[in-house]
Amino acid sequence: MTGSVEREVKFGGPPGFEMPELSGVLPGVSAVPLPRLDLDATYYDTADLRLVRSGVSLRRRTGDGPPTWTLKLPAGASTTVLQRREFDIESDSLEVPELFIGLVAGWARLEPLVAVIDILSRRERLALIDGAGVDLAEVDDDRVTVVEGGVTAATFREIELELTDSGTDELLDAVSARLLAVGAGAPDPMSKVARALGPRALAPSVFEGPVPRRDASIAEVMSAGLRSAVSDIVVNDHVIRLDDDPMGLHRARWALRRIRADLKTFTRHFDDAYLDHLRTEMRWLSEEFGTLRRADVLVESVERAIASARDNDVAAVQGLIDRARRERQRAHASVIEVLGSTRYVALLDALVAITRPTALFSGTSAAAVEVIPSAMMRVWKRVRAAVRDLSDEPSESEIRQVRGQIIRIRSATELAVPVFGAAASDFAALTAQAQHDLGRHLDALACERWLRSRVVSLEGLEPFVAGQLVAAQSVVSDQALRAWLDSWRACSNRSAVAWFRS
């Protein structure tokens, strides 16, 4: 299921508002009336509205064809144009589809989904078409009745302008200007269900909070960093499930690494059984994510070989790609099983719980500007020692040790940015490059190892082609290691580290 991206602008419909003539709003555009609809939508959420507070909506609606369940997920930054990824399932069932339960699990976690409000809409519609009859947009005039407990709780009027895939920003701007000129309310990205639910729906989600000031405590800085990281896991949960963007897994995996690294760096003196359990659970999830990520990288590496393969080698390369893709499918199926487990959802709940400033630091905690430099120095010494201990031809385990320490220093640096500003931001970029270079080296080694292990079972040209690819990966790993030497020198520059060494 891929869904579609909804692009719409919502306007208030004040008393006395009349829809203007929209034919000719742009050359060649005509407005065509469509049949009126009487829509009845029941929205589902957790009791504390975790979905709508995160910009997610889930409803079952009748009145426009078969009964349809619709899930809308945020698909862009919050602006006057509301962009959401929309999924539809036609069903007579009153039970939330299992697929949708999974896609919102990151937000709902252990809380059940229940009906929270009914919204009735009498919808007058106009289609905007071009000279060839292609649909460009639809303009809806909704008179809305909000029903709670069988009683009318509120009424309002809303004008919606939704672009089709053929609609342009120019059309959106022109129609918006004409609606505003005749008295429509200012564009408002608030969803219909959020408006209907009122103040409860506007309360900040658990992932929202203040950006730490320069004089913030370490508890405040840690809380902000943890909120950001846990949010990255949650918002990429459905991306991993849908399997249509490998970067979703990459972002979630990096967020998990940040949490593990920062807990290790800034709570090292904690002797807490709860944190120990949390670390164990995060290690489990990280290993599951890692297996899939390595499979993704392997497929990408082998696919790149097609571009350099000779014509008579393409079939052999394709055979290797097919093998890599099958292994990747198995790895994704394993991760989907993990995401559907109670263990995973319980871990998400536990991670959300530690985002509160008081969760890790009771009472008054020290100023971050005092704590961060000393913590950074401890990790920095370990990084330098690990680099210093590298042999002339470092083993994979040695490289992993160095990279693990670089991950810790990078994560701590990113946490420090609100307090230390540009100096920390610049150093974070340097450590990110060093981490990336070592990652490329390790990825090439993994691909080389995979190819070597498959050679004995290959036939025809495949063993020869695999041998060529092994040699190519050896070159890539060497290049990445040489690049790391440069990026490490940049990290080690005195001016780069002065902000936490002074």
Enter the tokens of residue 259: 């949490």
What pLDDT digit, counting tens, does each position of 388-429 carry? 999 999 999 999 999 999 999 999 999 999 999 999 999 999
Contacts of 332 (CB under 8 A, 6+ apart): 243, 292, 295
Residue entry with tokens 């913030």: 216
The number of beta carbons lying within 10 Å of the beta carbon of residue 67 is 16
Q: How many residues does the chain have?
A: 502
Residue entry with tokens 């190519």: 472
Please give the Cα distance from 94 to 203 (Å, whole number): 28
Q: Give the three-state DSSP class for 66.
A: coil
Q: Is the Cβ–Cβ distance between 225 and 415 less than 8 Å?
A: yes
Please give the Cα distance from 102 to 120 (Å, whole number): 27
Reported pTM: 0.90
Q: Report residue 71: phi and psi, to 5°.
A: -115, 130
What pLDDT digit, counting tens, does each position of 311-352 carry? 656 676 777 788 899 999 999 999 999 999 999 999 999 999
pLDDT exceeds cutoff 90 at 469? no
Residue entry with tokens 């009683």: 151
Q: Report residue 316: phi and psi, to 5°.
A: -65, -40
* CB environment 11-42: b (16+ within 10 A), e (fewer): bbbeeebebeebeebeeebbbeeeeeeebbbb
pLDDT exceeds cutoff 70 at 26? yes
What pLDDT digit, counting tens, does each position of 72-99 carry? 998 866 567 888 899 999 999 999 999 9
4-202 matches 219-363 in fold: no
Proportion of the chain above pLDDT 70, given as a percent: 93
Q: Is the Cβ–Cβ distance between 355 and 263 less than 8 Å?
A: no
In this structure, CATH architecture of domain 219-363: Alpha solenoid (1.40)
Proportion of the chain above pLDDT 90, given as a percent: 77
Query: Domain 366-502: which CATH class?
Result: mainly alpha
Domain boundaries, the chain: 4-202, 219-363, 366-502
CATH superfamily of the domain spanning 4-202:
Hypothetical Protein Pfu-838710-001 (2.40.320.10)
Enter the tokens of residue 25: 């709003």
Please give the Cα distance from 458 to 469 (Å, whole number): 14
Residue entry with tokens 């144009």: 81
Bridge partners of residue 44, in order along the sequence: 115
What pLDDT digit, counting tens, does each position of 100-153 carry? 999 999 999 999 999 999 999 999 999 999 999 999 999 999 999 999 888 999
Per-residue pLDDT, 128: 98
Tell me how far apart the 2 most distant CA atoms of the chain are, in Å.
Answer: 80
Distances (CA, A) of 147 to 155, 197, 336, 383: 9, 10, 37, 60
